Amino acid sequence: MNSNMKFLQKKTEILSAEGYAVYVPINAKTGKPEIIPEDIKEKYSI
């Protein structure tokens, strides 16, 4: 799951930075990544 973000200067609203984060659920027992269930994707998608 990706999350895009932008950071603007408060006074001028000039773009200071932009980027994205990639979220991957990890199985606590195996330490390996798992597939995000469709219901979770739907719930948190914009």
Judge whether 17 and 2 are in contact, CB under 8 Å: no
pLDDT at 29: 96
For the chain (46 residues), the mean pLDDT of every run of 10, in chain order, is 88 94 91 91 82
pLDDT at 3: 82
pLDDT at 2: 78
Residue 3, classed as helix, strand or coil, is strand
According to DSSP H, which parts of 1-46 are helical?
38-44
Which H or E run includes 15?
strand 15-22
Q: Residue 23: name the closest of 4, 46, 42 by CA.
A: 4
pLDDT at 6: 94
